[in-house]
Amino acid sequence: MTSSHALRGTTLSFRDNPFLAPPSECLNVTEDALILIEDGIIKAAGSWQELSPDLPAGTPVTHYPDALISAGFIDTHVHYPQISVIASYGEQLLEWLTRYVFPAEAAFADPAVATEAAGRFLHELLRAGTTTAAVYCTVHPQSADAFFTEAQKLGLRMIAGKVLMDRNAPEALRDTVRTGYDQSADLIAKWHGKDRLSYAVTPRFAITSTPEQLEAAGDLLDSAPGLFLQTHLAENREEVRAVAELFPKSRSYLDVYDRAGLVRRRSVFGHAIHIDEPDLCRCHETGAALSHCPTSNLFLGSGAFRLSDAVAAARPVHVGLGTDVGAGTSLSLLSTMGEAYKVALIGGHRLHPVQALWLATRGGAAALGLEDRIGSIAVGMEADLCVLDGGTDDFLRWRLERCDTVQDQLFVLMTLGDARCVRATWAGGRRVYERPESPPGP
């Protein structure tokens, strides 16, 4: 039996890529729109006045006046086991991993710990309007089982994988080339393509994987269609130096992965701060994507991602936004958009709010190779949506009332907003989060 629902409100969609065309011409705003959803798919989208007369009788309509309806946000780089170490003080990348991250991840040998963390993490994502994420688990296969189980219950489109690490990590967090391959292969068979779930082969980074394990990761990628690759790339200068020592025959950090067959479409490299033009050209050539993680890069003092270089029209590279929690300081992509603006300005460029929204939605979908399924409000797309407004913050609502255009509203939301500005989140045509009418009491 067909399940139908309709949403009414102001919708935001894209006519074109705002990095390749004037941003002011790329955003399509329909002030009183109808989105008809059937069995989780958008069946109609456009003017309420034009489409509502043909709305099937009895279709429930959820109206969101004084709000903006966007495609759901897409987080292209995040670690669910690290939510307990968010806001941990005082280290740069390699020391931070040793002091905070590895001890926290060791606890995920316990399936109960993984299940509780996965549920909390997914709730926080939905509260922030994020409907799809590329998620790192831990080295333990049960951490991936727990994440996929909880995501499946909610009907979410999620990408995740168990981390591969066979060196330079605590013994309790190491696998081997053989066990890492076999455990990943079992998880692929169990979860990849099941409902809305996809598997990502996930070597943590080149420092913690031998050349043999990276080659095995390439073999895994060839074992089933539609698999993803996620790892870290050139986040920190000390890390880059360590990789150069471990792989002296490689031209660059990216070349380490390329030699193992890991640089391809649906490969997502987190950070990519300290890379050069040949690396960017190689990403363009292969369709590999970069995940821009501004709050994490600022928090750890890693450096500033060169967004304008990456998306240059002469050879644009796919780029999405990543919160990178726990080094990142918020699971909110609104907050992440605001920090991306500041990082761009430090580099001498301006990130237009329409460009920021693109990175968080349609651009993120393209980075993951999922632009035919998510990231847009259009007929045939999966009905993943987030509804934005001024929330319960009197000052923010007051400031939004003084905006002349939707573009102005977007900039205020990404500068001052966070999860409190998400009124509702829909995934697969179901409302999976709704903000409480009033903030919870003490």
Dihedral pair phi/psi, residue 375, rounded to 5°: 95, -5
* Cα(185)–Cα(251) distance, integer angstroms: 30
Q: Is the CATH number 2.30.22.10 carried by domain 4-72+376-434? A: no
Q: Which pLDDT value is given to residue 369?
A: 98
Would the pLDDT of 337 be above 80? yes
Q: Which pLDDT value is given to residue 441?
A: 47
CA atoms within 13 A on the CB side of 375: 26
Task: Tell me, rounded to whole angstroms, the distance of Cα 92 from its chain centroid.
Answer: 23
Distances (CA, A) of 44 to 28, 36, 38, 47: 16, 5, 9, 10
Amino acid at residue number 253: Y
Q: Which pLDDT value is given to residue 1?
A: 63
21-48 mean pLDDT: 97
Euclidean distance between the first and final Cα of the chain, in Å?
44
pLDDT tens per residue, range 108-144: 999 999 999 999 999 999 999 999 999 999 999 999 9
Would the pLDDT of 360 be above 60? yes
Task: Give the list of residues 6+ apart from residue 422 with CB closer than 8 angstroms, or none.
Answer: 127, 128, 129, 334, 386, 387, 388, 391, 433, 435
Q: What stretch(es) of the chain map to CATH 3.20.20.140?
A: 73-331
As a whole-number percent, the residues of the chain with pLDDT over 70 amount to 99
Q: Which pLDDT value is given to residue 90?
A: 79
Task: Tell me, rounded to whole angstroms, the distance of Cα 134 from its chain centroid.
Answer: 5
pLDDT tens per residue, range 399-424: 999 999 999 999 999 999 999 999 99
Average pLDDT, the chain: 96
Which of 23-32, 94-103, 431-440 has the highest mean predicted lDDT (pLDDT)?
Answer: 23-32
Would the pLDDT of 440 be above 60? no
As a whole-number percent, the residues of the chain with pLDDT over 90 amount to 95
pTM of the model: 0.97
Note whether 292 and 320 are within 8 A (CB).
yes
Q: Which pLDDT value is given to residue 3?
A: 85
> Which tokens sit at 59?
């279709």
Note whether 129 and 420 are within 8 A (CB).
no
Q: Which pLDDT value is given to residue 438?
A: 62
Between these two residues, 442 and 346, which has the higher pLDDT value?
346
pLDDT tens per residue, range 271-321: 999 999 999 999 999 999 999 999 999 999 999 999 999 999 999 999 999
Q: What is the second-level CATH architecture of the domain 73-331?
A: Alpha-Beta Barrel (3.20)
Note whether 25 and 16 are within 8 A (CB).
yes
* Cα(314)–Cα(343) distance, integer angstroms: 22
* Cα(33)–Cα(11) distance, integer angstroms: 6
* Cα(362)–Cα(374) distance, integer angstroms: 7
pLDDT tens per residue, range 1-16: 678 999 999 999 999 9
pLDDT tens per residue, range 191-248: 999 999 999 999 999 999 999 999 999 999 999 999 999 999 999 999 999 999 999 9
> Which tokens sit at 390?
């001024």
Question: Taking phi first (over 0 means left), then psi (-120 to 50 degrees means alpha), and beta for anything else, what does residue 226 get?
Answer: left
Q: What stretch(es) of the chain map to CATH 2.30.40.10?
A: 4-72+376-434
